[in-house]
Structure 1
């Protein structure tokens, strides 16, 4: 079914959620075959997009839809440790190239330990994913998604016959209102927790925008690219904070630890500068204006 701006919310929700469900379960099947780094990353992103869709459209569905969201959240969490190990291995291998030769042995041993953790997490992931009855879970999703309410739920405040473009605009404004107050605190270089919270808010805005992509009449790719750039700078800072914690807990000699932590800190400083430059060039208030004009 093609989604137009005047398509009723209940009909659009059914189509848009079905698309997200199909993507999620397709990627889940692929991960169970390959356990490839990129496939795992793609499944985590797909799971977050689906969770955003389930949250958005919950007002026109029974509570059973929210309970289904818990299953998706479990999959997201299962993949987190694997993703962190994979990204850390790639990062420290690349870093090893620029370190003095006398540190090669210690850093090589550290990377080997990360690879051992990755193998352990892989075995756990394989076992845990096997416990899910994917066919039954998917069937349950399909049955619920196919049957949204066509009459307003008590106290929901949502009319299922609202044109989807109006619902999309209101949803994106709500995500923007959650996001904007978080930006000033995140601009302080040392404010890692504030940056982490903002990163999550930016992801939710981006996923919301992607769900309503067909309704954005002009400039969608440019708007999405800027949202991704915000997410990437914030994500880089978060990853570097995680990597620094791994180094501190890695049992490295103090001299090696100090050198690596200094290198991580320099990269984080560069990432923070990139984030501030992006904020000046494309503040999120501007993104919100672009979206309003394009819906």
Structure 2
């Protein structure tokens, strides 16, 4: 076998690896999406979203600017967005149900009533998100997507796979993560540690960790051994920062609804929102990713 033939064989083998990995994710995404529309099962919604996220990750590795895969990328992105709205509502409702149960067990009737009102409000919003998902997901996972997918696998994938190296992308993501981490450390060394800017920087760091986690997971077949443990490492980082972000989202959700809309007394509202603020700060000071060196207020 000549050098040229050997190079061609390696290229074909590489594109087959990409095709096998992406096809599995595509089938999972399609099947879970179909199941999700039956009864909006939270695990089906979650898995459809995860598989779409991994497909978006791999498409971004192959075609960073989405100049070649714009249509296909856009379809998966829109599906992920609709799935994400429902999934986020599911998670928030579940967390507030747990809080309501705890409040009831502690004999905190007014707090339990507040949480009941929040849950009802979020369930109403979820109905809207589910309706949009029900309307749009069949279009996003139907014959149009199948045609886009077949065109990508049959005509674009081999060329793109030959040009891109997932290991290079991982290194680039690591550099970006470390830069964001450095920026966070600077903010958390002084009086700005509890500022909006600091929380936004931490949110960006969480997103960077999530990108590394999904890249390590979705592109494991194409990565060197040294990257094989990265999924677990960055999952732990993402989860630590996620606790802070989740509590911030809960607080922002409450404030966006407003006390009057929920028909809650001022005293009950103030007590609960202040306790939630305290939880945000506690989670911030307990995180081990970017230690906060100022004294908690």
User: Shorter-chain TM-score: what band?
Assistant: 0.7 to 0.9
Counterpart position of 1:17: 22
Q: Which residue among 194, 199, 202 is the counterpart of 2:206?
A: 199
Question: Counterparts in 2 of 1:216-295, with a 5 A limit?
Answer: 216-217=224-225, 220=228, 222-252=229-259, 253-275=265-287, 277-278=288-289
Q: Which has the higher helix share?
A: 2
Number of the residue aligned with 2:295: none
Query: How far apart are residue 223 of structure 1 and its match?
Result: 3.5
Query: Aligned residue for 1:183?
Result: 181
Work out which structure has the larger RCO, using CA pairs closer than 8 Å and 6 or more positions apart in sequence: 1
Q: Say how many residue pairs are matched.
A: 262
Q: Structure 1 residue aligned with 2:89, among 69, 85, 89? A: 85
Quote the offset at 1:262 in angstroms. 2.4
Shift of 1:75: 0.9
Match among 24, 28, 32 for residue 27 of structure 1: 32
List 4+ stretches of structure 1 deviating above 6 A. Answer: none
Within 2, Cα distance between the matches of 1:43 and 1:133? 11
Q: Contact (CA 8 Å) 1:18, 1:142: kept in 2 or not?
A: no
> How far did residue 211 of structure 1 move?
2.3
1:62 offset after TM fit, Å? 9.1
Are 2:25 and 2:51, in contact at CA under 8 Å, matched by a contact in 1?
yes
Q: CA deviation at 1:173?
A: 0.4
Whether contact under 8 Å (1:82, 1:122) holds in the other structure is yes
**Compared with structure 1, are the counterparts of its residues 139 and 272 closer, same or farther at alpha carbon in structure 2 (3 Å cutoff)?**
same
| Superposition TM-score, scaled by structure 1 size | 0.77
**Residues 175 and 223 of structure 1: is their aligned pair in 2 closer, same or farther, counting only changes over 3 Å?**
closer
Contact 2:209 2:237 in 1 (8 A): yes
Structure 1 unaligned blocks of 5 or more: 1-5, 152-157, 281-295
Q: TM-score, normalized by length of structure 2? A: 0.77
Flag structure 2 segments of 5+ consecutive residues without an equivalent.
Answer: 1-8, 260-264, 292-297
2:155 alignment partner, SS class: coil
Q: Which residue of 2 aligns with 1:143?
A: 151
Determine which structure has more spread, i.e. the larger CA radius of gyration. 2
